[in-house]
Structure 1
Amino acid sequence: MKIKPFFGYTPKPESAKKVVSPPYDVLNRKEARKYASGNEMSFLHVNKAEIDLDDEISPYDDKVYTKAKENLDSFIEKKFLVKEEKKVFYIYAQIKGSHTQKGIICLTSTQEYDEGKIKRHEFTRKAKEADRTKIVDIQNANAGPVFLSFRKKESLEKLIKVCSSGEPHIDVFSEFSQDRHVLWKVDNDELIEKFVTEFNDVPALYICDGHHRVQSASNVSKLRREKILKEGGKVTGEEPFNFMLSVVFPENHLAIFDYNRVIKFQEGMNQKAVMDHLEKMFKVEEIPTNKEEVNDGLTPPHFAKSINKGVFSMYLMKKWYSLITNPEFIPKNDPVGSLDSAILTETVLTPLFGIKDIRTSKKLDFVGGTRGYKELEKLVNKQQGEKTNGISLAFGVCPVSMEELMEVADSGNVMPPKSTWFVPKLLSGLVLRLIED
């Protein structure tokens, strides 16, 4: 795989905490405006510029893209973001609790994405894809890196460790996500060349998060190539617009959490009908409650957490159940169909609740694993209340493994929606790259 160093833009170490922000897509307009209130240095002014405009203006209005460009130019002019004197790589560590993951921030090739060497596991949505393409083109920047991974390679991990052994360039704690983000600069020419050489032997990269950012970078590359060719010029493939800002982690460093499902209150459905259906496909067992640790009359969720493939947890009428899938309902030699999220849809969500497209169904809520099983109980109990003319319930799903993700991507398929929940999330505003610099 081809990687390149680049002229990075980073905050000054002493002001990094004021600059960095949550990703643009984890806050709505109101939340983002509140978060950035009183802080002209918040990167949300760059990657969510609608907070600086009237609420009547759509986030997809041309005025928002223009404002985003103006704000980015202002950040650079005011030295909120400072350009490196030479092309560099960065080592990026994310530390949450006892978990640490370290990777390299570099440029990767949009051509290798187009060729299928940078592999996806999700489809993109056209509206969001068009939005990200427009913002990248107008800002002439990759305002946030793509989150990629590669199959573990010991020599590369050792190199990453060596380059992150000294004093960091930036070390910032995010109050929003409650994790540390640490950046080391790699500006030694010999080490830069070692990284380039090491990645030459990596057969593929895998998108973990940021499918729309990858596709938008590819779209911008295509637009700029076509413009040059139309004007009679030549394209070598080495032009800056043929590369995108990426952070690449070894797959064994990453943590994927469960992505769980809550069925909203279903009028007319009863517990017996649910149990009768489930017992045809699962071994259903009530999970015993540890009476000493019961809090507010609810089963302690850690007793119910699903940690084995093919085993689901279910919360129904203030009780937790274990659902062990009958092996005959687990497809063989099918990297997508054998995923727990796919099995749950095929055996329960579709036949029992009529949910065919989980991405668009209004019967479902999704809860990322970091919010815990207590959140599942809370949502179900709120939906159920004292009502007896129907039910609400939740399903805990075993986390997908990186090996499963890579197998799906290698097969050329995509995973069911809402299958992966990666934590920690990448901070915005830590590293930026101008495309034509």
Structure 2
Amino acid sequence: MNEILSPVSLAQMITGKPPRRDTFEGWQHYRTTRGRFAPAPQLTFTEWRALTPHRRSLYDLHRTATHVNLPLQETPMSLKVSRLINRRLRNNALKQKPATRAGVMVSGWGYQGKTETVCEVAASFEDSWLAMHSHLNPDAVEGTWDLHAPVAYVQTPVTAKPKSTCQAVLDFFGAGSQSMNLPQLIRQVAQSLDDHGVKALILDDVTRLRMHRADDQDTLDLIRAFMSMNVTLILVGVDIPGSGLLREARWDGKTRQWVMPSSEHARVHGFETTQTERRFDLVELDRFRYGTAEEMTAFHDHLGGLEGNLRLLNAKPGMLTGGSMPEYLIRRTGGVVGLLERLVEDGAQEAMDSGKEVLDEALLDEIVISLDDPGRDPGAGEIPALPDGAGPARKATRARKKRNTVFDDRGPAATATGI
């Protein structure tokens, strides 16, 4: 059983800003430390009361940290995405042919875990690739010393242009662009990806591109050019089929892939001599459904995993999976993993603050799911509309107390009429 952490250990665990994955140092920190969080031990109410006030305070803080750092759980939907990305990454990394590597598009609505799923698979791939090559770049030029980065994670700029997108890639490696023009920037990106041994380039929030803008159309063309640089391109976005990113693509029923025309940037700037088509596997990361026995079982299993990671003193087996709670949670969250996690996280804090120390429908009715997040672009669908049944199941029944009007100034007109 995990022990209650000392004040120093707890402070080291919970202080500091979360690393930015869109830099080499931040990505390496994420890759090497993911899964290392030590949750608070499970104590009964009697064991908690036996602690000294100081140790009890530390334990409560550790419990809060546990509830806001719930582990990423595998779902049937994320498993489908993980298998496809893992297969594409490994196959492409082992290819010796000069052919263009097929990419992957991961679509889904906001708060469905697209980024976390993709990053987890990519980090696991990098772990394996580094171990296979003794943490050395197998393609390094003798006598040079470059960072080895099998995976590069980049967020698409909110107002993306070809230059800013190139700069975002270079920023991952900490490389300056100075006053380069676009052709120079593209060549610099190609050189950086090659020098650092990049096998996978993740472009997150790609649906921030608006296809009615000329700059965004040029940026999509540039993104297709990245596929000429011998990397597996993984595009992550909200509702990719409805975003316009595939409007120039055609569906190949034989390979079951989306086929996009070659990029103008690649032909103009010398990354290919033939008009090679770009192929993408499109996979959807969906929400939980609750219509069939199989879907219900999957949702119950997920709730059981959440329940096992909560540290509430009065919790009993079946707290989230028993009675009408699964139906209540599916109604409040629409089966969206991120909304479910937000509701449970806030509910657990309320259960601690109130002393109730258990989650039930009455307590969760008091929790309003708030999706305010300055890091997400509402215009790109990154903040979803809440489900129709997301509101509390019942309205507060407490009668509103009438205001005392004895000392109100009714004015001269009221006095004159005797009101």
| TM-score, length-scaled by structure 2 | 0.24
Whichever of the two has the greater Rg, that structure is 2
| Greater fraction of residues in helix | 2
Give the structure, 1 or 2, with the largest relative contact order (CA under 8 Å, sep 6 or more): 1
TM-score normalised by structure 1 residue count = 0.23
